[in-house]
Amino acid sequence: MADELQNRGLPPHIEEAVRSIADLHAKHQQTATRLQRAYGAVTSSVASPWFCAALTCVITSWAALNLLAGALGYEPFDEPPFHWLTFVLTLGSLYIVILIYATQRRDDQLAELREQMTLELALLNEQKTAKVIQLLEEFRRDIPLVENRVDEQADAMAEPADTERVLEAIQETRAKAERITGAG
């Protein structure tokens, strides 16, 4: 995989990022049970245009055979309004909903991992940025050619964010917005 990325002319830090994301997806796939993989395969099949076409053919054939049997004087196996067809389709729909839900739960786990990784990287980047600003401010103060002045904005940005206080502010803002909109 690294050769493929290098052939594309990507810088090493981009290669590493792409490789990390691919590894996350691969590990998530490797931890899937056989049943989860089967759910995914069936759900993918159900979501295909071929399934829709096949289902349309089955329903049309079912109705046509029953109507044709009645017209030819034979006993139809499911007379209109096709109660057995309705039962089969309802039962099939129930299973499809369960399959989609099970597949979605698995996909949500991957999305949750990505969100957590993104949040952790954002916090790490915030800390790194604060450190860089601290170092730049120290460098500026140490250079004799540059007039020493107070930069309140740079001083504030040089302080790493207090995640507890940020979380509290987010929760307070959300609660306030919910009170205003009446949501809850």
pLDDT of residue 183: 61
pLDDT of residue 144: 81
Secondary structure (DSSP) of 62-124: HHHHHHHHHHTT---SS-TTTHHHHHHHHHHHHHHHHHHHHHHHHHHHHHHHHHHHHHHHHHH
pLDDT of residue 170: 82
Angle at 19 between CA 128 and CA 112, to 5 degrees: 70
Rounded Cα distance, 33 and 42, in Å: 14
Question: Helix 83-142 crosses helix 49-71 at what angle (to 10 degrees)?
Answer: 170
Q: Is the model's pTM score more than 0.85? A: no
> Using one digit for the tens of pLDDT, what is the confidence trace for 71-85?
999 999 999 999 999
State the number of CA atoms in the 13 A half-sphere of 184 facing the CB. Answer: 5
In this prediction, residue 8 has a pLDDT band, given cuts at 50, 70 and 90, of low
For residue 88, pLDDT over 60 is answered with yes
101: its two tokens = 């839900």
